[in-house]
Structures are given as structure tokens and as C-alpha cells.
């Protein structure tokens, strides 16, 4: 392992200018993960009832602080997915270097391990930068966390690189490099392993978030948050599974009946690797479920407050500001997930650059390849987003039945899946400039 780490560090130092954007994305992902974790620790370190001039008293009470910590912890999920996508595209871009390691006697597993360990120094730089940014913000605000919180800060800075390397290793588990420079992926026979890894990665975060929500609640009051968490995770997992299964089914059906060249190319890709869509869309689908439920709960709570004319010392702005901050957190998670989708689409193009170059050399127009790239995202995502919408609406309806029985549910949450679907297509479209370079016939020189 020590020798692998030395080789990984040497490869990082020898990265050329073409890899600066991958390294930058990995460092930014580590910085975001560090900032979110440090912010969660800082809020959790505050004890008792205090007076903090932020968000109309949002951090004054322990219950509200627990909700803020939960939101910050859940933001780690899309960041970890982004780190995995960056590791996968990094392996593809360094295929000739990986082939050289194979020729020198390294096994396929050792090459994957070295590629994963390359994320360690980059993530360490990003986490150190996140600590510096967070410490600067604390000094400007005049807030000094307790000594125990600083010890936790140091632990986070060290844990983020280790987690980044572990996520990279999981993301590269099916990447195979041959000594002749050809990089391929072994197509998974089923999606159970993809779902298992997703749930194992999210289980500690979800358990910690649930414990923070119900730590001061009675068993009866803790039942509804448990129902919400179960609905979100079951629906999110079902949506991810639907993305993989529907991709395979759509690919097989269209490959046998479609006449459009773009549809045939997209169908072949979906048929050969259906679970690529599930990996790429996992975080987006979970954010969609949470977003729909959030919009529904927000509408119900604010409608009830206005109907009952409830007044608090902080005013109704206390509630609206809290919902606004939660909405900002969801938008940040959505932006990170969309960025991960764009990186995943770019990784798919880089993986198939020789095939794309061969198609271009054979006379396939660039417009056909561009439409096929968009269809690879649009076709499997549609049924998955539909199922995610059903799960989010179930959360909304359950909350309406508990908090405002007899009230008609709001239809505003139905706009969320449509907006997410359109945003996903736009994110996939950002990879089209890369397609022109990947599909250039010059790539056949390395075939």
C-alpha cells in the first residue's frame, strides 16, 4: 500500500495541463465536503438555548439547530457522488499511463488502487483549503468554537481524503486496464450491487440525521420522521433501480424496432450498460424526492400559519426564513448533483472516444451523435423521475394528512420533477462541446 501511495503521488505531480480540470473538480468537491461537515460540527457544538443573530433566531433553539445539522449532513451525499464521478473520468483520461503500469507488472486491482489513491493528496489539499476558509469565516464572525470542536475539525480534514480515496476505489471497482492501453468496463449483470453500495454509503448519514431530528422527541413524535425517512429512501432506491431496469428494457426494445440512427446508437449504449444511468442519476433522484416533499411541506406549513394567524416573538419571518434556507440547501444539492451528471456524461464520452471516432470516420454526422448523447440521459431518466415524483408526493400527502387534515394538497410540488428533468437535459448538453473533440478521427491513432 505504501508503494502504491508513492506511485499515486508521483502520478499526481506528473499530471499534464489536460488534467487540471479533473484535479480542480476533485479539490472543489473535497473543499465543499469539508465546509459542510465543519459547519455541521460548529452548529452541533452549540449547547442549550442561546441568542445568535442569524435567520430570525433559527439557531437559538436546540430543535432548530438539529434541523440545520441534518441539512448540512445530507449535502455530503451529492458531494461524494461527484468525487466518484471525477475518479472514474480520471481513470479513463490516464489509460496509457495505466497501461504502462500493467506492462511493468502491476495487476488490474493494483492499477485501480493507485488511481483511487491519486484522489488522496488532491482531497487533502481541498480539505485543508476548506478548513482555512471556514476558520477565516469564524474569525470574521467573531465566533470561537470549543476545543472539542477544533479536534473534530482536524479529524474531518483527515477523514475527507480517506473518504475520497474510498469512494474513488468503489467507483473504479469495474474499471479494467489492459497492458495494450485499452480501458473497458465490465458490464454489471444486475443492479443489486449498485443499490447496495448506494444504501451502505448513505446509511450512516441518514442514521445520524434521524438521530438529530428525534433526539429530544417522544417515541410518538419520532414516528412521523421515521415514516418520512423510510418513504424517501425506499422511493429513492426504487427510482435508482427503475433507472437501471428501464434503461435496459428501453435499449433492447428500441434496438430492435427503432429506425432513427440517433435512437439506435442511444439504444445500443443503454442495452450494453444499463446501470450507468443508475450510477449517474442516483443523487439527482434522491434530491428530487426530497425537493418535492419539501415544497409540499412548505406550502402546508405556511398556509396553516396564515390561516391560524399565529404570531411569535420572531414573527412569521422565523418560519419563512427557515424554509428559505432549507430551499437554498436543496438548490445547492441539486446544483452539485447536476454537476455530477455533467461530469458523468463527459466520463461516458471519454470512455467511448475510440468508438465515437470510428463512427465519425465512417460518416456518422456530429448532430446524430449529439442527439444520441442527450437520448442516453432522457430515456432512462423519465420513468425514474416519475417514480421519484410519486414518492415525493407521498411525503407531501402524508404530512398534509397529519398536520392539516381535510386540507386539499398543493399541486405546486408537481413542478419540481419537470424542472429537474429539464435541468438534467441541460446538464447533459454541456458535454456536447467535448463530444466534438472525443469523436475526432485522430483518436483512432491510439486504437
Q: CA 294, CA 300: separation in Å to the nearest integer?
A: 10
Rounded CA separation 355/441 (Å): 10
- Residue 95 and residue 177 in contact, taking contact as beta carbons nearer than 8 Å: yes
Helix (H, G, I), strand (E, B) or coil at 207: helix
Q: Which of 49-53, 123-127, 212-216, 298-302 has the highest mean pLDDT?
A: 123-127
Of 355 and 5, the one with more pLDDT: 355
Q: What is the pLDDT of residue 223?
A: 57
| Residue 375 predicted with pLDDT over 80 | yes
The 10 Å Cβ neighbour count of residue 219 is: 7
Task: Give, as one character, the DSSP assignment of residue 61.
Answer: S
**Does 240 or 48 have the greater pLDDT score?**
240
Three cell numbers, residue 179: 497492458
Q: Which three cell numbers stand for residue 93?
A: 483520461
Confidence label for 447 from pLDDT (cuts 50, 70 and 90): low
Confidence of residue 189 (pLDDT cuts 50, 70, 90): very low
pLDDT band, residue 275 (cuts 50/70/90): confident
Cβ atoms of 86 and 25 closer than 8 Å: yes
Interval 394-417: pLDDT, tens: 888 888 887 778 778 888 888 999
pTM over 0.85: no
The confidence band for 374, taking pLDDT boundaries of 50, 70 and 90, is: very high
R_g over Cα of the chain: 23
Other C-beta atoms lying within 10 Å of the C-beta of residue 408: 7
State percent of the chain over pLDDT 70: 74
Residue 312: the pLDDT is 52
Residue 372 has pLDDT above 70, yes or no: yes
Mean pLDDT highest for which of 102-116, 215-229, 392-406?
A: 392-406
pLDDT at 318 (0 to 100): 67
Amino acid at each position: 500500500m505504501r508503494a502504491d501511495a508513492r506511485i499515486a503521488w508521483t502520478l499526481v505531480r506528473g499530471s499534464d495541463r489536460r488534467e487540471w480540470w479533473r484535479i480542480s473538480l476533485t479539490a472543489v468537491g473535497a473543499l465543499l465536503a469539508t465546509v459542510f461537515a465543519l459547519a455541521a460540527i460548529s452548529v452541533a457544538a452549540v449547547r442549550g438555548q442561546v441568542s445568535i443573530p442569524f435567520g430570525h433566531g433559527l439557531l437559538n433553539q436546540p430543535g432548530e439547530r438539529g434541523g440545520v445539522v441534518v441539512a448540512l449532513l445530507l449535502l455530503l451525499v451529492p458531494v461524494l457522488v461527484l468525487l466518484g464521478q471525477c475518479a472514474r473520468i480520471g481513470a479513463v483520461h490516464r489509460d496509457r499511463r495505466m497501461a504502462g503500469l500493467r506492462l511493468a507488472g502491476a495487476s488490474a486491482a493494483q492499477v485501480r488502487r493507485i488511481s483511487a489513491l491519486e484522489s488522496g493528496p488532491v482531497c487533502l489539499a481541498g480539505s485543508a483549503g476548506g478548513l482555512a476558509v471556514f476558520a477565516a469565516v469564524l474569525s470574521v464572525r467573531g465566533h470561537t468554537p470549543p476545543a472539542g470542536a477544533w479536534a473534530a475539525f482536524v479529524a474531518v480534514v483527515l477523514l475527507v481524503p480517506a473518504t475520497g480515496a474510498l469512494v474513488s476505489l468503489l467507483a473504479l471497482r469495474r474499471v479494467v486496464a489492459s497492458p495494450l492501453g485499452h480501458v473497458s468496463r465490465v458490464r454489471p449483470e444486475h443492479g443489486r450491487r449498485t443499490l447496495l453500495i448506494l444504501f451502505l454509503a448513505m446509511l450512516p448519514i441518514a442514521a445520524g440525521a434521524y438521530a438529530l431530528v428525534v433526539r429530544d422527541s417522544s417515541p410518538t413524535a419520532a414516528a412521523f420522521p421515521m415514516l418520512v425517512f423510510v418513504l424517501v429512501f425506499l422511493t429513492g432506491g426504487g427510482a435508482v433501480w427503475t433507472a437501471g431496469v428501464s434503461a435496459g428494457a428501453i435499449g433492447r426494445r428500441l434496438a430492435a424496432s427503432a429506425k432513427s440512427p440517433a435512437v439506435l446508437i442511444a439504444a445500443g449504449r443503454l442495452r450494453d450498460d444499463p446501470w450507468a444511468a443508475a450510477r449517474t442519476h442516483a443523487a439527482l433522484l434522491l434530491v428530487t424526492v426530497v425537493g418535492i416533499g419539501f415544497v409540499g411541506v412548505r406550502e402546508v406549513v405556511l398556509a396553516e400559519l396564515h390561516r391560524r394567524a399565529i404570531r411569535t416573538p420572531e414573527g412569521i419571518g422565523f418560519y419563512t426564513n427557515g424554509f428559505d434556507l432549507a430551499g437554498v440547501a436543496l438548490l445547492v444539492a441539486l446544483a452539485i448533483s447536476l454537476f455530477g451528471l455533467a461530469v458523468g456524461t463527459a466520463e461516458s464520452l471519454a470512455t467511448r472516444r475510440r468508438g465515437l471516432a470510428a463512427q465519425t470516420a465512417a460518416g456518422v454526422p456530429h448532430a446524430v451523435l449529439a442527439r444520441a448523447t442527450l437520448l442516453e440521459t432522457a430515456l432512462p431518466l423519465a420513468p425514474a423521475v416519475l417514480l421519484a415524483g410519486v414518492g415525493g408526493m407521498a411525503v407531501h400527502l402524508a404530512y398534509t394528512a397529519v398536520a392539516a387534515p381535510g386540507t386539499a394538497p398543493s399541486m405546486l410540488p408537481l413542478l419540481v420533477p419537470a424542472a429537474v428533468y429539464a435541468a438534467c437535459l441541460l446538464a447533459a448538453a454541456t458535454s456536447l462541446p467535448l463530444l466534438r473533440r472525443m469523436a475526432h478521427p485522430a483518436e483512432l491513432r491510439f486504437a
